[in-house]
Amino acid sequence: MEKNLILVINPGSTSTKVALFKDKEMLSTTSIQHDSKELIKYNKIIDQLDYRMSMLNDAIESYGLNLSSLRAVVGRGGMLKSIESGTYLINDRVIEDLLEAKRGEHASNLGALMAKRISDPLNIPAFIVDPVVVDEMNDIARISGMKEIERTSIFHALNHKAVARVVSEKLGRPYQDLNLIIAHLGGGVSVAAHGKGRVIDVNNALDGDGPMSPERSGTVPLGPLYTMCFSNEYSLKDIKRKNYGAGGLVSYLGTSNAKEVLKMIDNNDSYAKLIMDAMCYQISKEIGAISTVLKGRVDAIVLTGGLAHNPYITRYITESVSWISTVHVYPGEDEMSALNEGALRILNHEEQVKLYE
């Protein structure tokens, strides 16, 4: 059988990760670092496209990659409209929506655009896989309590779905037959109820819903918040920053680095321990709350993401929630492999490619 060569492109805020796969084997990978002083010159993230493409092409040339043998290119999906889980062909509608950035600017918006620029001259398909806007929520989960505001699904969909497949294989049962709670623990935290192959409820990991995280505030009491908003002491930008980027561990301890916080705890810093425990407490509380969505019938709880490398954090959460179901720990998030495998499922005819409309 002919091997599938696939190029994967994953733009981040200050880097662009690139990897070449032969089927599931990663042949090479690199992370192109972008100078923040250079990036600041661009008013919008989309304006970085030519700059990043130039550096990507230089990297491809320096590594001597033979693009003519590629069967597909995969880019990290961005802030599109809400869509169901799956692998999508990058069509004109995808490009149009990402260029307009109507649903928000994010470095991941560049992924599909860069993949399409590589694939078009080669006349091969380009895909995105499970972007952050995957939305499979039940209608009842969308009700917020304030009619003007609807709860929305923005979460670490790529890693959630990839880990769900791994767990289902370990349990020897199809994902579509399982009830799982998956908690992605990273700079942001998303805790989701996976009911029979669908993410039927999840906190919005971007806009302040759910538990605090290393750099996000999570849900906070509204009364004090809107008093702050109208105090004339803070701009809208300030408030957004307190929610996203300067919230959570950063707000209390001045760092989003969990390893630094653990060093503080090892040095008998009781305040650092209180704040770290509070984050673990809130994550555990979210897992307990979302177990009610599955009516307590939970086949497994899964802890994943970068913070899941940390035994202090996983031990605290496991001790708090293991009465609900068995806890499985899968540290990290292998986004490059997850993107590659999404394309492979299409090339191997295991799934039907989806169209963004």
CATH classification at residue 163: 3.30.420.40
* pLDDT one-digit tens code per residue, 46-75: 999 999 999 999 988 887 878 888 999 999
In a domain, 112, yes or no: yes
Predicted TM-score (pTM) of this structure: 0.90
| 3-class DSSP state of 32 | strand
Same domain, 320 and 285: yes
Same domain, 350 and 301: no
Residue 240: HSE in the Cβ half-sphere, 13 Å Cα cutoff: 4
pLDDT above 60 for 323: yes
Packing angle, helices 109-122 and 49-62, rounded to 10: 50
Mean pLDDT of 17-23: 93
In a domain, 146, yes or no: no
pLDDT above 70 for 1: no
Q: Quote the pLDDT of residue 146.
A: 94
In a domain, 149, yes or no: no
Mean pLDDT of 22-49: 88
Q: Quote the pLDDT of residue 269.
A: 98
Start-to-end Cα distance in the chain: 33
Same domain, 170 and 282: yes
The phi, psi pair for 340, rounded to 5°, reads: -60, -45
Same domain, 106 and 202: no
Residue 3: pLDDT band with limits 50, 70, 90: confident
Same domain, 119 and 173: no
In a domain, 28, yes or no: yes
Mean pLDDT, rounded, of the chain: 94
Same domain, 101 and 231: no
In a domain, 145, yes or no: no
CB 283, CB 183: distance < 8 Å: yes
Number of structural domains the chain divides into? 2
| 3-class DSSP state of 106 | coil
* pLDDT one-digit tens code per residue, 270-316: 999 999 999 999 999 999 999 999 999 999 999 999 999 999 999 99
In a domain, 31, yes or no: yes
Q: Quote the pLDDT of residue 2.
A: 59
Same domain, 178 and 94: no
Q: Which of 53-57, 204-208, 242-246 has the lowest mean pLDDT?
A: 204-208
Same domain, 123 and 162: no
Same domain, 173 and 248: yes
Mean pLDDT of 22-29: 92
Q: Alpha carbon of 241 to those of 244, 248, 306: distances in Å?
A: 5, 11, 22
Same domain, 317 and 200: yes
pLDDT above 80 for 245: yes
In a domain, 140, yes or no: no
The phi, psi pair for 7, rounded to 5°, reads: -100, 130
pLDDT above 50 for 231: yes
pLDDT above 60 for 143: yes
In a domain, 9, yes or no: yes
Same domain, 124 and 182: no
Q: Quote the pLDDT of residue 227.
A: 96
Same domain, 299 and 196: yes
Q: Give all strands of the β-sheet with 300-305 in edge-to-edge order.
A: 198-202, 189-195, 179-185, 300-305, 327-331
* pLDDT one-digit tens code per residue, 83-127: 999 999 999 999 999 999 888 888 889 999 999 999 999 999 999
pLDDT above 80 for 20: yes
Listed in order, strand segments (DSSP E) in the chain are 5-11, 15-22, 25-33, 72-75, 87-89, 126-129, 179-185, 189-195, 198-202, 300-305, 327-331, 354-355
Query: Which residues form the domain of 79?
Result: 5-135+335-355
